[in-house]
Structure 1
Amino acid sequence: MDVANSPAVCPCGSGADYSRCCQPWHLGQSAPTPEALMRSRYAAFVKHNNDYLLATWHSDTRPSELNLEGSPEWTSLQVIEASETAHQGKVHFRALYRSGSGWGYLEEQSDFIKEDGRWYYLSGATSEGQLKPGRNDVCPCGSGRKYKVCCLRK
């Protein structure tokens, strides 16, 4: 089994062990930065952890319920830029997913707010598109191998 797909490796793309990365946030500890919260929310989408997603969504914009049934198979995350001030944060990221026999991406400029010492997801401006990896590109599944020797053959 390759390291990228090991159950112990956190799905957020940090390369760290899940138990030392996003799991503490999923178990109730407060994420220390907007980027850490965003990564933990991505990991929660991968793990279909609705309760965590709703708990970390600001009450002003949080939906009353969240159904992840039919969600895409999220495969990798790239944080493009992250910044924060005392009570506001921004994270620009791109998340890749498998869509049927193809690939897609979700790119978002997310806004976060800190209240009572905790960061919350507030809102985001998103765009989506189809991803067309080249034969020699790194495979979007997160394996680290070239696309032509990984998922192109499947």
Structure 2
Amino acid sequence: MTRVGIYPGTFDPITLGHMDIIRRGAKLVDKLVIGVTTNPSKNPMFDVDERLAMVRREVADIDSAEIEVVSFGNLLMHFAEQVGASVIVRGLRAVADFEYEYQMAGMNQQLNDSIETIFLMADVSLQPIASRLVKEIAIFEGDISKFVTPAVCAEVVARVARNKA
């Protein structure tokens, strides 16, 4: 039986913190489905197709499990059921993340108690990284190269420049 896990998120943009959780989460399952959410309320910098391409490129060299990158725009538990997931992988950075994630895990358990949520603590050096902050730093012309890969850095910088033009 193949153990399928999902790692959902906006990935706008994908950061080194996300990559850490993906690498570690992929070791826990046979197949990791990275679900790129289409939640328009977050006002993303990149559209869903751009984010899918970005994530696929960044995870291409991870070989510890089969990795699939897909978009979804429905309830997380419905998405988990659709892909046959038995595990949801979530990353935690700080106490505020825990409080939110704990509440979400409880609600998700009420919807389907056969799908477990696993929390992975972010690597200490990556804990402060958040996509929202990466975008904010880039908008104000700060250096984001410590937080994302070189390819993602170039994409974010180019998008900021395009948006300012």
- TM-score, with normalisation over the residues of structure 1? 0.27
Higher relative contact order (CA 8 A, sep 6+): 2
Q: Which structure: greater strand fraction?
A: 1
- TM-score, with normalisation over the residues of structure 2? 0.26
